[in-house]
Amino acid sequence: MTAREDIAAASSANRPLRLGDSAPLFSARTTRGEKSLADYRGRWVILFSHPADFTPVCTTEFVALARNADRFAALDCELLGLSVDSLYAHIAWVKAIEQAFGVTVPFPIIEDPSMAIGKAYGMIDEHAQDTSAIRSTYFIDPDGVVRAITTYPHNVGRNVEEILRMVAALQIAERDEVLTPEGWQPGEPTLNPPDTDLAGTSDEADWFCAPKGGS
């Protein structure tokens, strides 16, 4: 199936993208040249949409993401931004950010003027004419599977520290077959999955909430 056919199939599925779904493939023009989602197999990907270029909240998000790009790279995680704005608007905005904040945006920003990618991912309602109320983030694993989704309103910015925490939590949960408790941070204890065998447990909580130790 081609990237175009994959997007079309996802768009016609008549349901939102869910955790565990394969992320719809696409190829598109970006501020860093032509990019295909398939090119990122083997790495984690953060695909995030923003309402529009040259907007206050989106600008603060992009500045923060750019300043933390090395931390995402350390997690073997790629960043991909997207909005319906044209490539030329993206380029102008990136240059304005660099001039105003002294920050270079190192990751690609995808143009999606037809809204094909946005609709395939559920970033945009099929009847919407723009993305002014959509601020979605998709956490895609190295096999191309959607592992987490967050959506914020247009007037509330995302938290870059939480995005980084989510990636780290997803990675350690997958790698070590553990659970991460509320507020977990890298290096803190994780949790064992619930034990189905009560024999030999020394504490009532051991079988359903047992810490695994530092990670």
Sheet holding 44-49, edge to edge: 33-36, 27-30, 109-111, 77-83, 44-49, 135-140, 146-152
For the four alpha carbons of 163, 165, 168 and 174, in that order, the dihedral sign comes to negative
Tokens linked to 73:
């790279």
User: Scanning the structure block, which residue is given the tokens 């099929």?
Assistant: 126
Residues 6+ apart with CB under 8 A from 162: none
Angle made by CA atoms 142, 143, 144, in degrees to the nearest 5: 90
Alpha-carbon span 5 to 83, nearest angstrom: 21
- Torsion region of 52: left, alpha or beta (phi above 0 gives left; psi -120 to 50 gives alpha): beta
Tokens linked to 1:
């199936």
Q: Which amino acid is at 72?
A: F
* Candidate list 7, 46, 47, 58, residue with the active-site label: 58
Active site residue 58: yes
Catalytic positions: 58
